[in-house]
Amino acid sequence: MVLWLLKWPLERVLLVFSWVLILLAMSTPSWCQSKDAVSPKASDGSPFPWNKMRLPENVIPVHYDLMIHVNLSTQTFWGTTEIEITANQPTSTIILHSHNLQISKAILKKGAQGRPSEELMKVLEYPQHEQIALLTLEPLLVEHPYTLVIEYVANLSDTFHGFYKSTYRTKEGEQRILAATHFEPTAARTAFPCFDEPAFKARFSIRIRREPRHHAISNMPLVKSVPIAEGLVEDHFDVTVKMSTYLVAFIISDFESVSKMTKSGVKVSVYAMPDKIDQADYALDAAVTLLEFYEDYFNIPYPLPKQDLAAIPDFQSGAMENWGLTTYRESALLFDAEKSSAASKLGITMTVSHELAHQWFGNLVTMEWWNDLWLNEGFAKFMEFVSVRVTHPELKVEDYFFGKCFNAMEVDSLNSSHPVSTPVETPAQIQEMFDGVSYEKGSCILNMLRDYLTDDTFKNGIMQYLRKYSYKNTKNEDLWNTMASICPAQTTEGSCSPSQWSSFSSHWHQEGIDVKAMMNTWTLQKGFPLVTITVRGQNVHMKQEHYMKGSDNTPETGYLWHIPLTYITSKSDSVQRFLLKTKTDVLILPEAVEWIKFNVGMNGYYIVHYENDGWDSLTGLLEGTHTAISSNDRASLINNAFQLVSVGKLSIEKALDLTLYLKHETEIMPVFQGLNELIPMYKLMEKRDMDEVEAQFKAFLIRLLRNLIDKQTWTDEGSVSERMLRSRLLLLACVLKYQPCVQRAEGYFRQWKESKGTVSPPTDVTLAVFAVGAQSIEGWDFLFSKYQYSLSSTEKSQIEIALSMSRNVEKLQWLLDQSFQGDIIKTQEFPYILTFIGSNPVGYPLAWQFLRENWNKLVQKFELGSHSIAHMVMGTTNHFSTRTRLEEVKGFFQSLKENGSQLRGVQQTVETIEENIRWMDKNFDRIRVWLQSDKLALL
């Protein structure tokens, strides 16, 4: 919409005719579009002079001066944005982003400070691309300074992105309103007109007008606060470093804070609502420690004078890395020493670590475009484990890393997966990049590269990468070229000669290291390899192929990877290495072996099949002396076995036989991986109403783990891993109605209820206790009454899960309605509650129905393409295993057309259901027979 809300000087009226000439006679410059392109129409019907989703590169922003005045009572804001720009070629059209902003005035200032002049610009809007065009009377001169001044008004968003409203209630029940920002990836344009692409880095000077009862924080420290009218204060913040628009942040609230200084003099503060500020200490200490670690590890000082961490009551994702002002969901930052779980402590530490890693990977060095989002997110996910392993060794984060790789492989094994680096253009496509491939797979291939290059070489490479590209933008190949450039002397770009890698070459016994060629196979191809091992005497034959689930007629992709294989044998636990670059190869062992185990420690992003008697040998090893290999190796064997069942390489009986050793297992990751493989089997049976076999399978699971379950104490004692294992095992036992567990939980719940919530059960067993208590209507109602007044994120989360496990259909429907409405249960919790109910054997039809009936509202609230939407789609359908449900799912999403049918998450859902049907048709009867086998009598 074009707004002409100005009274022009008389002499400018004479120039109106110039606008007509510009619009009618505007040529199509080479940087704009092809002759054949159809010119889009602006909102007023005029031709819009740009037809691409990406902005042209002929105008560059240098500095933004933002003034934002928010009224929390009316939930509106108005602002003035001044952008210093330069043109690198003459143009009469300035294209930038604006979305849902009512622009009232746009002026072009030009000339030196001594002789400035102003020119009113016409504004054309093109909402389909969230763009505006500012039309100048005369072409901009190359490299001359200009300033755009744009005035506008807008409403605070009622979603979780842009400049949005958040609320909380005090202990006394008073509702308070705050305003916060979340701009990544494409929402800065909803708060101020801007060049909203990561490569358009600039500096920002920010001023916030507010009422005196609130205070504002932003990326940089406060310089001064100026009273400008009665009841109005303007806060001036220091100018930022050069950064992308999605990293801009500001919050207007009545939050309180606690602060500490790092050794290098950076002020670290945690902000939260006043009633929860006493839960900020753990995150504050962690942030100080982690920031100091990163400064030392990267050998690059943190460039800002402060780092704030703010807990936002309404927050869609887990956290956001805004430079100098990271924002978090409350449960990802606040730790209640009395009620928060061991898993919560681990999660908070990892989340803070992730966002602080972004201050270097993502903020200091930023991907050029969202196709390489993994350069931000994969690195930050990887650095979580590098940092926390050093700063918080008691958390033993190394035990959990490879679980992230298994999660990524679940998605990456589907035909609908995508390469780590993949083309994207629209906001929905960009949103879809925030997935397990960018995060988990990105981190896993970096870990594989670290193992391949050695720790020191890898570290030197990323330090050089950060130094070289500080305050700049990068592409995929920039990282690989920098990694390769750590050779003593450069040879061909992206590779090192063997003489330059004398110690490294002996590490790999290879004739040349081509980092770029190797890593391109992992970032430019989707999926991952299956390596088949055939041992014939001392000869080990290796074959690689693309692992992909699907029907037997799925076409071969022909992909090949450069795979850094590692292995140990029955004769040697010293890790041996071999780089497999061809489809097949052979390595020769010094002597014959009883067994061989590849992918040591799960450091590689591939799975392994052992032909002939290879699996029998490894199953025998686990049954006899399972501690002969590491817990990570044991867990990876469990995972790989069931992955092979899915593609017909291994029988379900052999995979199930391998799990029988879990009767003797005590380590968290093999047990968790066993549960991750076995629980979905009975969940699939639930969706087919196979009650008898389902009951037998659940009984088998309890018998398999009964010894370990019975050993669990109902306390909060032990390491983080031991406590997390206790929580999950006791919850499983109670859900499967193992009576010793149920009776103990009932006793704790009765005690908690009779004390009116003052005598709490041990934190580690609380979820099991609540889950049992929620099975009665009286218990469910009591849990909900306690939920409304709890200040503990962990406790509230536990109650949400427990309420979702009820078998009462009316309660579940009410819970769906309430959590979506957002009055008592925050709407941010809805995606999780929907998926909890979606996994409930009596609740999943309600969840699926709710998703369909409220699809348009969900997309409006959570954004098309977002991880939340994908989570809800998968969470309500991923255990469907009948053709009737498949057709139902297909029909619904096809009916959505451009409002959802094209989403990758929908394609993944359809593939997953098709795979479930194939899997059950092939394996169900065999499982039923296996459950009757004599070997189970020994459990």
898 three-class SS: helix
Q: Give the residue among 870, 884, 891 at the shortest CA–CA distance from 916.
A: 884
Q: Which two tokens stand for residue 836?
A: 């909890």
Q: Give the residue among 848, 828, 829, 831 at the shortest CA–CA distance from 159.
A: 828
> Are 609 and 594 contacting, i.e. CB atoms less than 8 angstroms apart?
no
- 643-644-645 Cα angle (round to 5): 90
Q: Give the residue among 454, 437, 434 at the shortest CA–CA distance from 445.
A: 437
- 55-57-61 Cα angle (round to 5): 90
Task: Give φ, ψ of 781 to 5 degrees.
Answer: -65, -40
Beta strands 563-569 and 93-97, pairing class: unpaired
How distant is the alpha carbon of residue 362 from its chain centre?
14
* Catalytic residue of the set 125, 355, 829, 863: 355
* Rounded alpha-carbon distances, angstroms, from residue 36 to 28, 39, 126: 11, 9, 20
Burial of 658 (0-12, 13-18, 19+ CB in 10 A): buried
How distant is the alpha carbon of residue 642 from its chain centre?
26
Q: Which two tokens stand for residue 431?
A: 């949103």
Whole-angstrom distance, CA of residue 395 vs CA of residue 342: 9
Coarse DSSP helix, strand, coil percentages of the chain, rounded to the nearest 5 percent: 45, 20, 35
> Are 253 and 168 contacting, i.e. CB atoms less than 8 angstroms apart?
no
Whole-angstrom distance, CA of residue 387 vs CA of residue 248: 26
Whole-angstrom distance, CA of residue 912 vs CA of residue 384: 30
* Rounded alpha-carbon distances, angstroms, from residue 919 to 251, 549, 648, 923: 50, 10, 10, 6
Q: Which two tokens stand for residue 115?
A: 């002789």
Instruction: Answer yes or no: 511 catalytic.
Output: no
Distance from the first to the final alpha carbon of the chain = 73
Q: Which two tokens stand for residue 240?
A: 């930022």
Q: Give the residue among 248, 124, 241 at the shortest CA–CA distance from 188.
A: 248
Whole-angstrom distance, CA of residue 53 vs CA of residue 131: 9
Return the bridge partners of 546, or none.
Answer: 529
Whole-angstrom distance, CA of residue 470 vs CA of residue 677: 43
Whole-angstrom distance, CA of residue 651 vs CA of residue 657: 10
Beta strands 122-126 and 117-120, pairing class: unpaired
Could you tell me if residue 527 is left (phi over 0), alpha (psi between -120 and 50 degrees) or otherwise beta? left
> Are 872 and 854 contacting, i.e. CB atoms less than 8 angstroms apart?
no
14 three-class SS: coil
H/E run at residue 61? strand 59-71
DSSP letters, 119-180, are EE-EEEEEGGGTEEEEEPSSPPPBT--EEEEEEEEEEPBSSSSEEEEEEEE-TT--EEEEEE
Beta strands 472-474 and 596-598, pairing class: unpaired
Torsion sign (Cα): 882, 887, 892, 893:
positive
Return the bridge partners of 76, or none.
Answer: 71, 155
> Are 886 and 906 contacting, i.e. CB atoms less than 8 angstroms apart?
no
> Are 498 and 579 contacting, i.e. CB atoms less than 8 angstroms apart?
no
Whole-angstrom distance, CA of residue 741 vs CA of residue 332: 30
- Catalytic site positions: 355
